[in-house]
Amino acid sequence: MDLFSKFDDLIAERAAVLGNGGADPFELVMDEVVSATEAVVDGRPIILAGTYNYMGMTFDPDVIAAGHDALDRFGSGTTGSRVLNGTYAGHKLLEQRLADFYGTAHAMVFSTGYQANLGICSTLAGKGDYILLDADCHASIYDGCAMGSADIVRFRHNNAEDLARRLRRLPAEAGKLVVLEGVYSMLGDRAPLADLVRVAKDAGAMVLVDEAHAMGFIGERGRGVTEAEGVEDQVDFIVGTFSKSVGTVGGYCVSNHPKFEVLRLVCRPYMFTASLPPSVVATAAESIRLIQTRGADKRQQLWDNSRRLHGALSAAGFQLGTERPESAIIAVVLPDLETAIAMWQALLDAGVYVNVARPPATPFGMVLLRCSLCAAHRPDQIDAIVAAFLHAAEAAKLDLSGTRRADAAE
Amino acid sequence: MSDPTPTSPDTPAAPPTADEIYRRICALIEPFNKKGVAVTPQTTFAGDLDLDSLNVMDLVAAIEDEFDIILPINRLPDLETVQQVADEVASILKG
């Protein structure tokens, strides 16, 4: 028995979709990256409109200089766990920067955002406890739940009433963790956190909010939807990543819980992996400092870009993931995978890179072409993205006059 | 939410019979039964009904609301057939 037999359907589907000789959207190679918004693929310049590089920090001269300096002084890697030889001065400085940014007592840095969710979700809730998670939560949250021993209860997306109903069914004395996201990455929609957090707190639950797609530009200080909705004092844990607005790689959790530091001794995805390299740590720390002290203009530019793209695609007749721009993610909803891949290829030919998103990552069986905007996008680049979408829709014969929606269970 | 005790005035005093639980679950499956499979107690969700993990979790939410229970999704790997789910629901209702 070949262990790979279970993947045969996927292999066949992929071959069928790629049969027309196009590039594979899941195996694109960036030969050169010129700036936060431009790369070279197959010798041709393309506009990057699907990188989560929201604040455009990846080529900031101060960020690069900080990375160079740390690389020279501390070497290429730590070769060790945070709990052994892998905590350098830079790691502690980065945690202090995060605590300053959020105004929290504690901050804990993980090697990736995925591992932050994996570690926190699997460790906080144990046997006999309950995790209640939004149906549209990211795979890292689901995987963290699967790794732990708590009972996992899923509630309907962004539905406070549905959460309340499920909380009421649980034993009053059981430990409960409600896991939410500030912005959901597939459709770019925002959570009604004030309502959800109130329901969770009324039931005596602790609350974790993943702000991966909101940190940097939502809320007055860029702390995320938690800040924008005025619930910072009620959210127990904020999880985030350095691989989006911060512009490098890594993950974190911040909290005011008085016993938070014990997690460093019990959280396996924190302990049993090598810590981030010094250069990555230094770029993250500098980037966070810059977002905190000089982020206001970029926030404004990013929101202008988001409104410009959403407005133009909406006016052109595309069905979008949200009625209004709620974040820096603008998702175009398509009828099927074939159309999405044909359009993705046409977009690339026209010099624009976006993401293909498909089930099971997407809700309701939706197939999406997802744009994520950058503060560094110029207005003419946004216009070029719109023009490329119109060209791609024509190439793929997408009907823009009436829209269809691929719901899984109608 | 001053009173955290579960209260559902509509729930009849007598718990539903095994047969009734099975029939109510079958009714909940119908909207997900895109292939029009004839559902039996031995029908499997992933194989026969061809449900993906998201469909299964949506069906679980519907079952939870139908019976006013919690059916944690971490228990799903052990529940492959309609009968197994019906038995699990009966066991949860007994408490």
Average pLDDT over residues A338-345: 93
Which pLDDT belongs to residue B2? 44
Average pLDDT over residues A339-356: 95
Domain count, chain B: 1
CATH of the domain at B57: 1.10.1200.10
Residues A218 and A153 in one domain: yes
What's the pLDDT tens digit per position in A168-223?
Answer: 999 999 999 999 999 999 999 999 999 999 999 999 999 999 999 999 999 999 99
The residue among A222, A248, A276 that closes a domain is A276
Has residue B3 got a pLDDT over 70?
no
Residue A74 included in any domain? no
What's the pLDDT tens digit per position in A83-106?
Answer: 999 999 999 999 999 999 999 999
Which pLDDT belongs to residue B38? 94
* Residue where the block lists tokens 């702000």: A211
Average pLDDT over residues A52-71: 98
Cα gap A94→A92, rounded to integer Å: 5
CATH of the domain at A189: 3.40.640.10
The residue among A276, A307, A337 that closes a domain is A276
Residues A54 and A137 in one domain: no
Considering chain B, what is the average pLDDT of its residues?
88
> CB contact, 8 Å: A201 with chain B?
no
Residues A53 and A103 in one domain: no
Residue A409 included in any domain? no
Has residue A408 got a pLDDT over 50?
no
Q: Which of A279-288, A400-409, B85-94 has the lowest mean pLDDT?
A: A400-409
User: Quick check: ipTM above 0.90?
Assistant: no
Has residue A398 got a pLDDT over 70?
yes
Residue B80 included in any domain? yes
Average pLDDT over residues A224-229: 98
Domain count, chain A: 2
Q: Which of A90-94, A337-341, A347-351 has the lowest mean pLDDT?
A: A337-341
Kindly tell me the number of DSSP H helices and DSSP E strands found in chain B: 3, 0
CB pairs under 8 A between A and B: 61
> CB contact, 8 Å: A165 with chain B?
yes
Has residue A39 got a pLDDT over 50?
yes
Average pLDDT over residues A356-383: 94
Cα gap A26→A57, rounded to integer Å: 24
Residues A271 and A350 in one domain: no
Sheet holding A106-110, edge to edge: A106-110, A251-255, A237-241, A206-210, A176-181, A130-134, A151-155
CB contact under 8 A, B52 and A360: yes
Which pLDDT belongs to residue B13? 62
Q: Looking at CA atoms only, how far is residue A171 from chain B in angstroms? A: 8
* Residue where the block lists tokens 């740590």: A281
What's the pLDDT tens digit per position in A235-285?
Answer: 999 999 999 999 999 999 999 999 999 999 999 999 999 999 999 999 999
Residue A401 included in any domain? no
Residues A276/A246, Cβ–Cβ less than 8 Å: no
Has residue A407 got a pLDDT over 60?
no
Which pLDDT belongs to residue A359? 86
Considering chain A, what is the average pLDDT of its residues?
95
Which of the residues A137, A168, A198 would you substitute to probe the B interface, choosing the one with the greatest number of B C-beta atoms within 10 Å? A168
Residues A211/A204, Cβ–Cβ less than 8 Å: no
**Phi-psi category of residue A44: left, alpha or beta, with phi > 0 → left and psi -120 to 50 → alpha:** beta
B9 pLDDT tier (thresholds 50, 70, 90): low
Residues A153/A301, Cβ–Cβ less than 8 Å: no
User: Quick one: what percent of chain A has pLDDT higher than 70?
Assistant: 97
CB contacts of A204 in chain B (<8 Å) are 4
Q: Looking at CA atoms only, how far is residue A146 from chain B in angstroms? A: 7
3-state secondary structure A150-176: CEEEEECCCCHHHHHHHHHCCCCCCCE
CATH of the domain at A328: 3.90.1150.10
Residue B47 included in any domain? yes
CB contacts of A195 in chain B (<8 Å) are none
Which structural domain range is residue B30 located in? 18-94
Task: Count CB-CB contacts under 10 A for residue A389.
Answer: 27
Residues A195 and A314 in one domain: no
B1 pLDDT tier (thresholds 50, 70, 90): very low
Which pLDDT belongs to residue B15? 84
Q: Looking at CA atoms only, how far is residue B31 from chain A in angstroms? A: 6
Residues A192 and A107 in one domain: yes
Angle at A368 between CA A312 and CA A410, to 5 degrees: 110
Which structural domain range is residue A45 located in? 14-58+296-395
Which pLDDT belongs to residue A24? 80
**Phi-psi category of residue A406: left, alpha or beta, with phi > 0 → left and psi -120 to 50 → alpha:** beta
Residue A70 included in any domain? no
For residue B34, give the nearest of A17, A407, A16, A362 by alpha carbon: A407
Which pLDDT belongs to residue A20? 66
Has residue A409 got a pLDDT over 60?
no
Residue B18 parent element (H or E) = helix B18-29
Residue A9 included in any domain? no
Residues A34 and A114 in one domain: no
B11 pLDDT tier (thresholds 50, 70, 90): low
Residues A241/A255, Cβ–Cβ less than 8 Å: no
User: Quick one: what percent of chain A has pLDDT higher than 90?
Assistant: 90
A185 among known catalytic residues: yes
Cα gap A73→A67, rounded to integer Å: 10
pTM over 0.90: yes
CB contacts of B55 in chain A (<8 Å) are 408-409
B12 pLDDT tier (thresholds 50, 70, 90): low
Residues A231 and A136 in one domain: yes
Residues A226 and A311 in one domain: no
What's the pLDDT tens digit per position in A194-204?
Answer: 999 999 999 99
What's the one-letter identity of residue A229? E
Marked catalytic residue, from A185, A243, A306, A327: A185
Residues A262 and A322 in one domain: no
Q: Could you say which DSSP state residue A184 is in? A: -
A296/B15: higher pLDDT: A296
Angle at A235 between CA A247 and CA A148, to 5 degrees: 80
Residues A318 and A379 in one domain: yes
Which pLDDT belongs to residue A62? 98
Marked catalytic residue, from A106, A244, A298, A310: A244
Cα gap A253→A106, rounded to integer Å: 8
Query: Can you list the positions of beta strands (E) in A183-242?
Result: 206-210, 237-241
> CB contact, 8 Å: A80 with chain B?
no
B52 pLDDT tier (thresholds 50, 70, 90): confident
Q: Looking at CA atoms only, how far is residue A206 from chain B in angstroms? A: 16
CB contact under 8 A, A172 and B53: no
* Residue where the block lists tokens 């057939």: B81
Residues A254 and A369 in one domain: no
Residue A380 included in any domain? yes
DSSP track, A65-92? HHHHHHHHHH-S---S-TTTT---HHHH
Cα gap A409→A365, rounded to integer Å: 9
Has residue A132 got a pLDDT over 80?
yes
